[in-house]
């Protein structure tokens, strides 16, 4: 099992992470939240995962805009402006021990009495953690990830809109556990109608007869920043791309498949529920990966 998407820290071999909390860089022992914080107690909050390369955050404004929209959707007031959080990200990256890494920007409802009523929480907590990433293994890069269809379903848009990037990730955690138990690298979640939504921490693309396909947000897919970048690159490269509903059959019969995410970037898929994907890494994936790396190097 390889984690395709999230920052990893090993205190014995890597520099410690850096944390900005409510206005300043703080020592790790002070980077805490109250046991009465509703983000901890009830998952009441929103977050963004952001990559930084050579000391610069990738598509930071898109991440911050999504953060504020997520917060607005759950009536959570962020006590900083986008401009202030932009500066906070710059400060956090500057204090980070490495020039390439991963940021986790979190806004919680803040501490309050026990009970789910958010009106009793008056001090939202904002923190940003900068850490290094565990790079995807060469095996996965060359042979492709192994994915399974999870029994755990993605919450429907009629229950929790997938455009809200909230702290509620239990469905995805259970799906990732299924993948781990099956000896796979990632789990693909279906929606309540049995159609493909997304991975446990990434978006999914398939290629059929030279056409790039991905589920629309309404199917339960997060409107991923890397996902959007791939769609933009496909247009520039004259690769026909569509957002359409996909069934497991479409995954099983795909010519190519790959995952996208902030931490994962682009990861080829070699096997889906034991079925070999014919082209891995495939030509369209390889073309898009090269273009994505150029994009990362060119955007300032």
Instruction: Provide the annotated active-site residues.
Output: 165
**12 close to 269: Cβ distance less than 8 angstroms:** no
**246 close to 206: Cβ distance less than 8 angstroms:** yes
**52 close to 263: Cβ distance less than 8 angstroms:** no
Question: CA 93 from chain center: how many Å?
Answer: 19
The rounded distance, in Å, linking the Cα atoms of 260 and 229 is 10
Comparing CA positions, the residue from 287, 229, 285 lying closest to residue 259 is 285
For residue 35, the SS3 value is coil
**170 close to 42: Cβ distance less than 8 angstroms:** no
The rounded distance, in Å, linking the Cα atoms of 4 and 201 is 8
Question: CA 210 from chain center: how many Å?
Answer: 26
Q: For 54, how many CA atoms within 13 A lie in the half-sphere containing its CB? A: 6
DSSP string, 153-201: PPPPTTTS-TT--BS--HHHHHHHHHHHHTT-SEEEEE-TTS-EEEESS
Neighbours of 139 (CB within 10 A): 12
Pairing of strands 265-272, 275-276: antiparallel
Q: For 179, how many CA atoms within 13 A lie in the half-sphere containing its CB? A: 26
């Amino acid at each position: 099992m390889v984690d395709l998407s999230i920052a990893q820290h090993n205190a014995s071999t890597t520099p410690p992470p850096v944390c900005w909390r409510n206005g300043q860089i703080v020592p790790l022992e002070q980077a805490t939240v109250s046991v009465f914080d509703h983000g901890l107690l009830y998952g009441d909050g929103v977050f963004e995962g952001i990559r930084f390369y050579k000391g610069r955050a990738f598509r930071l404004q898109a991440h911050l805009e999504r953060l504020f929209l997520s917060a607005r959707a759950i009536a959570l007031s962020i006590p900083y402006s986008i401009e202030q959080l932009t500066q906070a990200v710059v400060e956090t990256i500057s204090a980070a021990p490495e020039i390439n890494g991963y940021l986790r920007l979190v806004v919680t409802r803040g501490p309050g009495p026990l009970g789910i009523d958010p009106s009793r929480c008056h001090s939202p907590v904002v923190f940003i953690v900068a850490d290094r990433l565990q790079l995807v293994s060469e095996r996965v890069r060359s042979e492709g990830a192994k994915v399974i269809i999870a029994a755990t379903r993605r919450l429907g848009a009629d229950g929790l809109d997938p455009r809200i990037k909230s702290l509620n990730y239990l469905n995805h955690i259970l799906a990732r556990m299924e993948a781990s138990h099956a000896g796979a690298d990632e789990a693909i979640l279906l929606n309540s109608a049995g159609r493909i939504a997304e991975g446990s921490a990434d978006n999914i693309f398939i290629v059929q007869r030279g056409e790039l396909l991905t589920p629309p947000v309404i199917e339960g897919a997060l409107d991923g920043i890397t996902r959007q970048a791939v769609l933009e690159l496909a247009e520039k490269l004259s690769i026909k791309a569509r957002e359409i509903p996909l069934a497991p059959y479409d995954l099983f019969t795909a010519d190519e498949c790959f995952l996208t995410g902030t931490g994962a970037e682009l990861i080829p898929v070699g096997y889906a529920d034991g079925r070999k994907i014919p082209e891995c890494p495939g030509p369209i994936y390889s073309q898009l990966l090269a273009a994505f790396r150029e994009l990362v190097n060119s955007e300032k």
